[in-house]
Structure 1
Amino acid sequence: MSNTGLEEGAIGFLSVYPRSRTSWFQQLLSLIYFEEHRKGIGNLETVDRVPFFEYNFRKMDFVERPSPRLFATHLPYYLVPRGLKNKKGKIIYIYRNPKDVTCSYFHFSKNVTLQVTSSFEEFMEQFLEGKAKGEESQFRYRLGTLHCHKSLFNIQFLMYEEMKKDLKGSLSKVCKFLGKELSEEEMDSIVRQATFQNMKYDPRANYKNIIKTRYGLEAKGHFLRKGTIGDWKNHMTVEQNERFDKIFQRKMKDFPLKFIWDMNEE
């Protein structure tokens, strides 16, 4: 029998910057921990199995949630629950190259939430200046600060692009960190169900119902759009890319984690 993973009553947190594939990992955690989700005999959506800590769409009583208590969050370092800084619970932080994040964020804000009317060029400038939708920038936001304070947390950093290239290898790494043992058959089932195309058309995982509830019928786009690596090349001009690189190098020059910018990059 598979181990349950996480200590009894412990909390697991998935922490990401917006548009870094939160929904993908919510699906992965749902498939890892809930057999009925994996076998397709439960219709509970991933946002209910791994709810957002700060949004609480369903008005849940988080204290009464049974173990394992799994949450997703976009909260910055200084707002996370105090217990996490004492290593009470485990954190998985998914990070993605910020050029693709910018492109994904632009389309999401323009077509789904309808909060952007500017061009991509204007949006990119807002993002680089830390003004996109009122958020701090990718560079000085959650990733850099959290990594600087990683000794306070029981945390695993995971790159989205590595997951995209080797999902099964990344899944093995996650299960080891969580203390969750799965059979080879269960692993293969999770990998198969967690592909981008399968998720895009899975009503449990694609956020279609949430979009309809929160943003209404005016929303034109899909929560899951492309999920590719290097889509920024279809949006940025040479000049915009050079400006992005200049600011990135200045703000992240001492950052130890690597980024992958292209699908063919090792």
Structure 2
Amino acid sequence: MAADHPSVETPIIHNLRNSKGHGFECVVFDGLYMPPALMKTEPPEETLESIRDIELHDDDVIICAFPKCGTHWVWEVVEMLRGGVIEYRKQVKETQEFEIIFKKGIDALPSPRTLNTHLYLRMLPKQVVEKKIKCIQIMRNPKDACVSFFNQCRDTLAPAGFEGDLAEFTEIFLSGQMFFGSYSDYLLAWKAELDRSPGQPVLKLFYEDMKHDPVKTVKDIARFLGLAATDQFCEEVANACSFKKMRQADKELKEEFDIIKFWKEGAIGYYRKGEVGDWKNWYTVAESENFDRIWNEKMKDSGITFKYSL
């Protein structure tokens, strides 16, 4: 994804649409494609650069994941565990997301802060590594992530929306010609960056394991954060954060966040299915095998493997 950085005065907008006119327009920052619509008030490069200078608190927790890999889910779990009560936050997780509220917004948040991001480690505050801030990394099998991302983009208004079919989107997803780049690049970059930061406290979670045994996942998170949560409370958190209950809470309780009003009328929103293996309803055998061929070539030396069904 080599490209020139956009200048502060006149950001370069990269047209990544395919021959059918389907795709995205992005800016580039530190080699990563980013949606320009998120950066409305300042030049994109300056806005994103400010994230690196954020002063972090020792009790900050950062949830890190590629889009559609479970950030909303884990964010709600962490908030309940840290709050000690079974109560949904009225705010959405985007109110604490680095690449949406940037330095000014993060600085204004009171502790304890459960921050979240889709960015690479090198793009986050320098103090993440300097202060050894606890991070939770979530990974999901790429086929389900791709299908979920496709459905979100299909339900999204321009300029973040996508008008093509799944085959076109899959090609874009695997090649990285879209905002946040390719999922494989994301995973490989995080692995390399963590290898250069020994001692960084990171809890690695797999979406599929979370679905298979949510109570164990909640207990693992509580233990990682040093929280004295009882088995019963962890079970209550896991139950409250089931996909069905979180989808209902999203409809009934969550406050609107004007920065992200981008859904088409009648859109399902973030909570579509949340299942493991739904990709089988979308890809033919030939399409699945082609996906595997491209993905496995990119990830062959990573040591990262996924479950594609439960």
Which position in structure 2 is the counterpart of 1:108? 152
| Counterpart Cα distance in 2 of 1:208 and 1:223 | 14
Asked if residue 85 in structure 1 is aligned to residue 85 in structure 2, the reply is: no
Pair 1:79–1:204, CA change in 2 (3 A): farther
Q: What is the CA-CA distance between 1:171 and the residue it aligns to?
A: 1.2
Q: What is the CA-CA distance between 1:117 and the residue it aligns to?
A: 0.4
Which position in structure 2 is the counterpart of 1:15? 64
Pair 1:189–1:60, CA change in 2 (3 A): farther
Q: 1:140 aligns with which of 185, 193, 202?
A: 185
Q: 1:198 aligns with which of 245, 253, 273?
A: 245
Which position in structure 1 is the counterpart of 2:44? none
Q: What is the CA-CA distance between 1:213 and the residue it aligns to?
A: 5.7
Kept in 1: contact 2:263–2:269 (CA 8 A): no
Which position in structure 1 is the counterpart of 2:30? none
Which position in structure 2 is the counterpart of 1:72? 116
The DSSP-based 3-state class of the residue aligned with 1:56 is helix
Asked if residue 122 in structure 1 is aligned to residue 171 in structure 2, the reply is: no
Q: Which runs of 5+ in 2 are unaligned?
A: 1-56
Pair 1:191–1:126, CA change in 2 (3 A): same
| Counterpart Cα distance in 2 of 1:251 and 1:206 | 41
Asked if residue 32 in structure 1 is aligned to residue 81 in structure 2, the reply is: yes
Q: What is the CA-CA distance between 1:166 and the residue it aligns to?
A: 0.5
Q: What is the CA-CA distance between 1:82 and the residue it aligns to?
A: 0.7
Most deviating of 14-23 and 81-90: 81-90
| Counterpart Cα distance in 2 of 1:262 and 1:30 | 28
Pair 1:204–1:33, CA change in 2 (3 A): farther
Asked if residue 51 in structure 1 is aligned to residue 96 in structure 2, the reply is: yes
- Normalising to structure 1: TM-score of the pair? 0.85
Query: Structure 1 counterpart of 2:185, which letter?
Result: R
| Counterpart Cα distance in 2 of 1:229 and 1:242 | 18
Which position in structure 1 is the counterpart of 2:289? 242
Post-superposition CA distance 1:72-121 (Å, at most 9, x none) = 10112321111112253111000000000000000000013451000111
Post-superposition CA distance 1:163-189 (Å, at most 9, x none) = 000011111111111111102231121
**Percent of pairs identical after alignment?**
27
Pair 1:105–1:33, CA change in 2 (3 A): same
- Normalising to structure 2: TM-score of the pair? 0.73
Q: Which runs of 5+ in 1 are unaligned?
A: 1-7
> When the two structures are aligned, how many residues end up with a matched partner?
250
The DSSP-based 3-state class of the residue aligned with 2:185 is coil
| Counterpart Cα distance in 2 of 1:172 and 1:69 | 20
Pair 1:154–1:212, CA change in 2 (3 A): closer
Kept in 1: contact 2:86–2:237 (CA 8 A): no
| Counterpart Cα distance in 1 of 2:116 and 2:78 | 10
| Counterpart Cα distance in 1 of 2:258 and 2:307 | 30
| Counterpart Cα distance in 1 of 2:113 and 2:201 | 16
Q: 1:170 aligns with which of 209, 212, 217?
A: 217
Q: What is the CA-CA distance between 1:239 and the residue it aligns to?
A: 1.6
Post-superposition CA distance 1:51-83 (Å, at most 9, x none) = 1122029x9742343332220101123211111
